[in-house]
Amino acid sequence: MVFDFPADADYHMIANEPYIDNIDVMHHIVLFGCESQDTIHRPGELFDCQMGVDPACMSMIGVWSFGMNGECAHPDMGFRIGKTGFKRGIMQVHWNNPQERADYVDSSGMVLHLTTKLRKYDAGILFVGQNYIHIPPKEENVVINGSCSSECTKTLIRDEVKIPVAWNHMHALGRAQRLELIRDGIKIKDLAYDPKYDYNTPVVHT
């Protein structure tokens, strides 16, 4: 669903809380900020996204997944919305109905916490991973490697970036996941390492 943010002033979104109506079907929620108001769909309009993203709304600014209680931004940062920030957002809700029940309904969403007391830094989310993964049959263990190249990060990142939190996300077949920071071919550190990953209990690494 597309909706307008308040535009009377500059705000920082400093937290979000999930509002989960039917946990039996909720899979995850993604909130995107729109760089322009030239969105394909109008505010208030519901539509089937087919897991796609509106070209005007490519910035992920909030996430809820099963097992998470919501997100509180680091005290020095917030996601800028309003006059000089995101003026419009898209909330994308993903459902999972393994029982294939036709009687389920859901009205889940997010409660957003805003402040006009702007913090030192504007926040953002960097989403790294694969769109498509091929898992061959009858294999006990499959390792998938991906990377964001230096050419990519030089385009995306023009200034110093501070990373207060990181977390991994996979589905039921995932067993372990690691996010590494590599500079000039040398590993600096793990940003998020889950040697025993469980979709139901995600770990937020601070």
> One-letter amino acid identity for 159?
D
Compute the distance between CA of residue 19 and CA of residue 123 in angstroms, rounded to an integer.
23
Q: What tokens were used for 155?
A: 């385009």
Q: What tokens were used for 201?
A: 């209990």
CB 30 within 8 A of CB 89: no
Question: pLDDT of the chain along its 206 residues, tens only?
Answer: 999 999 999 999 999 999 999 999 998 899 999 988 888 888 988 888 877 788 889 899 999 988 888 899 999 999 999 999 999 999 999 998 989 999 999 999 999 999 999 999 999 998 888 878 888 999 999 999 988 888 888 888 888 899 999 999 988 889 999 999 998 889 999 999 999 999 888 899 99
Compute the distance between CA of residue 116 and CA of residue 9 in angstroms, rounded to an integer.
7
Compute the distance between CA of residue 131 and CA of residue 179 in angstroms, rounded to an integer.
16
Architecture of the domain delimited by 2-98+107-122: Sandwich (2.60)
CB 91 within 8 A of CB 110: yes
Residues with Cβ within 8 Å of residue 159, at least 6 apart in sequence: none
Q: Dihedral, CA atoms, 128, 130, 131, 132, nearest 10 degrees?
A: -170
What stretches of 44-119 adopt beta strand conformation (E)? 59-65, 71-72, 77-82, 88-95, 109-115
- Sorted by where each begins, the domain ranges of the chain are 2-98+107-122, 150-205
